[in-house]
Amino acid sequence: MVRMKGSRALMEQLKAEGVEYIFGNPGTSESAIMDELEDYPELKYVLVTQEGVAMGAADAYARATGKPAFVNLHIETGLANGISLLHNANEGGTPLVLTSGNKDMRKLVEGRTELDEMVKRFTKWSVELSHPDQVPGAIRRAFNEAKTPPTGPVYVGFSANAMDGEADVEIVPSPPGRYRIEPDARAVGEATKLLAKAKNPILLIGDRIAQSGATEEAVRLAEVLGAKVYAASFSEYNFPIGHPQFMGRLAYGFPEPNKILSAADVLLGVGNVFTSYWFFDTQGGRTLSPSTKIVHIDASGQVVGKSEPTDVGMIGDPKMALTTLAEALKSEMSGSAKEAAKGRIAAMSEEKDAQNAAWEKKVKDRWDMTPMSTERMMTEVAANIPSNTVVVDDSVTTRNSVFGAIDFDRPGSVFGERGGAIGWGIGGGLGAKLANPDKPVIAIVGDGSSMMTVQGFWTAANENIPIVYLICNNQTYRVLKINMNVYKNIVLKDSKPSKFMAMDFPVPLDLAGMAKAMGVYGKKISDPKDIGPELKKALASGKPAVLDISIDGAL
């Protein structure tokens, strides 16, 4: 045991946890932390001027490194600014430790906010410390909670007296985090019996595949089963895009994807795949056909069987579960079932070829549009980035073109926003680059999302983080227009065109100009032929850059 101030105990515990970066924006309530940091140059403070930037950066950094990120914001005011992207981290299961300072515990009469209550809804665990001797243990538990499956964000608040007071403390790091749990053998047996006899199986995957490092296992099982593969979420590398059995991304809960999934006689879902951002389904409960049998695998018992009636629920590590299932299926499937699986795969190859041909035709048909099409933009981008480029995807309605043009074929090649709150991509680009200093990193960000955290350009300049932002500038909240049309057609059954109130930017957003004002190279691009030269120049510069690309925003 060593006697020290709470603020010093915090620094020592962060060192023990292997923290390299603190993403934050300090205030007076963080004075003790900022003063203590002067003696800890190995803990790099990444200063942001808007809290959403810190949250986005920490989110991407944690996912890219596979270890919890550390964020420090300012009391309730700064903390409140970070909650929207805390929501995203919670939805996606990002392991991060969020903290902030608070007033002295003796300020009860004058008034103090219970900060842990503010964020409880969006965290695995939230607590506020009142004494210095609580600091090391609470931080140790916070890191342990964040990285224990199902992973997610946690919150620790520091009262002033917890930071300023002294106590005898012991600095011990959290356990290394070996938490793979085998699925129940009975569940494996029941799932194997269902899947072995499937005539039209579908594998529906989510980001828990990437988090578990289970991409190869997912491919192996899909090939054994002869299953079509769809992604309910692809904000990390879950399955090779170019694989003949990968049929694309779809939004579970929307009418057309529901038809596709309901065609399966057995649906194997891996991850939090039955969570829908579909606002207009008011029925609740079952969305897919009652004739579709469902096997669901996830590390979280709160996810398995949550909404869709599930025939076999399997709680455990996806990598272990998929490995066990694939081996069991090899033994359980009859000779005729194995031949049928091969036949399905052959048919899928033809369907995949047709998909690729349709993409190429769309690129050709929309090649010379003005403003340029999203297909043209992303084809130019794909042709001019190195093969080891990391893509940060906050492209929103340009996403189909991102995935049409780029074959993501390796772990860590893509990180995307998840959870519904926009503004993630600017900070996300910073965090991804800090996690991948030796690889080129580009962030493809919608103009509306960029404006939520445009202050991140300053952080890129201040810290000299060589991230290249590609802004998809269509001068509109296009996603809202798409959803408005769905609302009118499906919910209201109204054929009258919408006026799309408050969904356009009549005064164009000059993201390149904003970048220049914050010390970052900014270039407006309207001619698609300029994308390649400008992108190569930006990547070679070793400095941050913003390419503000004008694209078509029509529906």
23-82 pLDDT, tens digit per residue, is 999 999 999 999 999 999 999 999 999 999 999 999 999 999 999 999 999 999 999 999
Interhelix angle 531-541/374-382, nearest 10 degrees: 50
Greatest Cα pair distance, the chain, in angstroms, is: 76
Identify residue 339 by its one-letter amino acid code: E
Alpha-carbon distance of 196 to 61, in angstroms, equals 40
Question: What's the pLDDT score for residue 281?
Answer: 62
Alpha-carbon distance of 191 to 312, in angstroms, equals 6
Beta bridge partners of 22: 45, 70
Record: fold of 366-550: Rossmann fold (3.40.50)
Identify residue 333 by its one-letter amino acid code: M
Question: What's the pLDDT score for residue 277?
Answer: 66
Record: fold of 2-169: Rossmann fold (3.40.50)
Counts of helices then strands in the chain (DSSP H, E): 21, 20
402 and 437 Cβ atoms separated by less than 8 Å: no
Which helix (H) or strand (E) covers residue 217, if one does? helix 215-225
Record: fold of 185-351: Rossmann fold (3.40.50)
Mean pLDDT calculated for residue range 287-304: 95
pLDDT digits (tens, 9 = 90+) for 206-263: 999 999 999 999 999 999 999 999 999 999 999 999 999 999 999 887 888 899 999 9
- In which residue ranges of the chain is CATH 3.40.50.1220 found? 185-351
- In which residue ranges of the chain is CATH 3.40.50.970 found? 2-169, 366-550
Alpha-carbon distance of 412 to 438, in angstroms, equals 13
Task: Name the phi and psi angles at 318, rounded to 5.
Answer: -60, -40
pLDDT digits (tens, 9 = 90+) for 530-547: 999 999 999 999 999 999
User: Is the confidence at residue 282, as pLDDT, over 60?
Assistant: no
To the nearest whole percent, how much of the chain has pLDDT over 70? 98
Question: What's the pLDDT score for residue 110?
Answer: 82
503 and 480 Cβ atoms separated by less than 8 Å: yes
Residue 166, by phi and psi: left (phi above 0), alpha (psi -120 to 50) or beta? beta
Of the candidates 357, 380, 376, 356, the one whose C-alpha atom is nearest the C-alpha of residue 367 is: 376
Alpha-carbon distance of 533 to 290, in angstroms, equals 53
Question: What's the pLDDT score for residue 255?
Answer: 81
pLDDT level of residue 285 (50, 70, 90 thresholds): low
Beta strands in 454-533 (DSSP E): 468-473, 521-525
> pTM score, two decimals?
0.96
Of the candidates 298, 79, 340, the one whose C-alpha atom is nearest the C-alpha of residue 206 is: 298
Alpha-carbon distance of 42 to 19, in angstroms, equals 9
Mean pLDDT calculated for residue range 75-90: 97
- Two tokens, residue 171: 């600095």
Beta bridge partners of 100: 73, 157
Alpha-carbon distance of 217 to 322, in angstroms, equals 6
Question: What's the pLDDT score for residue 111?
Answer: 83
Q: What are the Cα distances from residue 503, in Å, to 54, 424, 447, 475, 547?
A: 27, 20, 12, 9, 23
- Determine what percent of the chain falls in helix, strand and coil, rounding each to the nearest 5: 45, 20, 40
Q: Is 442 exposed, middle or buried (0-12, 13-18, 19+ CB in 10 A)?
A: buried
**How far is residue 302 CA from its own chain's centroid?**
19
Question: What's the pLDDT score for residue 254?
Answer: 80
For residue 451, the 8-state DSSP code is H
User: Is the confidence at residue 283, as pLDDT, over 80?
Assistant: no
Alpha-carbon distance of 409 to 399, in angstroms, equals 17
Mean pLDDT calculated for residue range 476-480: 94
User: Is the confidence at residue 280, as pLDDT, over 70?
Assistant: no
User: Is the confidence at residue 96, as pLDDT, over 80?
Assistant: yes
Alpha-carbon distance of 25 to 72, in angstroms, equals 7
Query: Lowest mean pLDDT: which of 42-46, 176-180, 366-370?
Result: 176-180
Residue 201, by phi and psi: left (phi above 0), alpha (psi -120 to 50) or beta? beta
For residue 207, the 8-state DSSP code is T
pLDDT digits (tens, 9 = 90+) for 479-503: 999 999 988 988 889 989 999 999 9
